[in-house]
Amino acid sequence: MDWGKVKFFLGEVLRNFTRNASMQATAIGTVAITIVILGVFLFVRGELAGVGTQLLDQIEISAYFAPNATAAQIDSVRHAVAADPRVASVAFVPKKQGLSELRVRTKDAIDTSTLTENPLPDKIRVRVRLPDQVPAVAASIGRLKTVDNVVYGQTIVQRLLQLGDVMRRVGIAVIAIFLFVAGIIISNTIRLTVYARRREIAIMQLVGATNTYIRMPFICEGLLDGVIGALLAVAVLWVARATLWPRMLEALPWIGFGSTPIDLGAIVAELFLVGAAIGIVASWISVGRHLRT
């Protein structure tokens, strides 16, 4: 290992980096802001997805049998539904049990003792593996003979599925725009340092330095902008989570309730990767323009 080389190289990077401190700060700031927004977005999306999944997980399909359905017919429907690979579980609820469940749910607010006969039909309760398959499964159960009526939270399921879809699209658009802006600002910063060092670049080219070699310090500079920006952003997000999150949970108890915890480590890693990537790409582009011979 030639430490002299390493020292020289790091010296060049540091010299670049400190030469244009205010511009460097602007670039780092923009990256930080972009990544904070990105981080909040990923976090909120994760939470909402958690809530959504949790709600969707509770969705079950109730299929009611016609009052004249025989036990054999009911059995064949149960088996047919259970055989569907999209179905997680099927439970038969005879009308007697349905009535007692109704009593429990309504906490005897309705006086069922006055009923002379059970008005409820027999039903099966079906759980589906993936939430977005609920409508399709419900429709196919509805087509089976002796099934009178199929009920699931139609509107809520559809809205949640739509919400998830919209969130994904808007999210990708927002992130793309911010990354683009951050990339432009880093690229301009590097262009300024390239301009400030045009004499050095000319001399390097004159004495036979390769373009790759000339590029390296600038790429490192962009990388530093990106990574330092990401570091700042992660620090800000961390503080925000520690101070604001508990209060939000108090105010909106449904947010975090029981949902699967988000993998913060993965988000942090993602944010750093994004910072480094914009830094490298932006500086690569802006140095390249100066190196054409």
18 binds other proteins (CB under 8 A): no
Which is closer to other proteins, CB of 113 or CB of 212?
A: 212
φ, ψ of residue 64 in degrees (nearest 5): -95, 135
Choosing from 71, 206, 242, 251, the residue that interacts with other proteins (CB under 8 A) is 206
Q: Across the strands, what pairs with 62?
A: 125, 151
Q: Directed axis angle between helix 154-196 and helix 3-19, to 10°?
A: 100
Pick the stretch among 24-32, 95-103, 131-139, 208-216 that binds other proteins (CB under 8 A).
208-216
Which of 270, 262, 275, 291 has its CA nearest to residue 48?
A: 262
From the list 50-58, 77-85, 128-136, 201-209, the region that binds other proteins by CB under 8 A is 201-209
Residues 175-194 contacting other proteins, CB under 8 A? none
Binds other proteins (CB under 8 A): choice among 200, 231, 255, 267 = 200
207 near other proteins, rule: CB under 8 A: yes
Closest by CA to 215, choosing from 291, 141, 144, is 291
Number of residues that bind other proteins (CB under 8 A): 21
* Smallest distance, other proteins to C-beta of residue 220, A: 15
Instruction: Pull the structure tokens for residue 187.
Output: 């690229």
Applying CB under 8 A, which part among 91-99, 102-110, 205-213, 239-247 lies near other proteins? 205-213
For the segment 211-230, give every residue that binds other proteins (CB under 8 A): 211, 213-214
CB atoms within 10 A of CB 172: 10
Q: How many CA atoms lie within 13 A of 26 on its CB side?
A: 13
Could you give the CA distance from residue 107 to residue 129 in angstroms, rounded to a whole number?
Answer: 31
Running DSSP on this structure, what letter comes out for residue 119?
-
Q: Does 203 bind other proteins (CB under 8 A)?
A: yes
Stretch of 79-87, 186-194, 204-212, 273-281 contacting other proteins, by CB under 8 A: 204-212
Q: Closer CB to other proteins, residue 68 or residue 293?
A: 293
Residue with token string 């540091």: 14
Question: What is the rounded end-to-end Cα distance, in angstroms, of the chain?
Answer: 32
- Interface with other proteins by CB under 8 A: which residues? 2-5, 8, 15, 199-200, 202-211, 213-214, 293
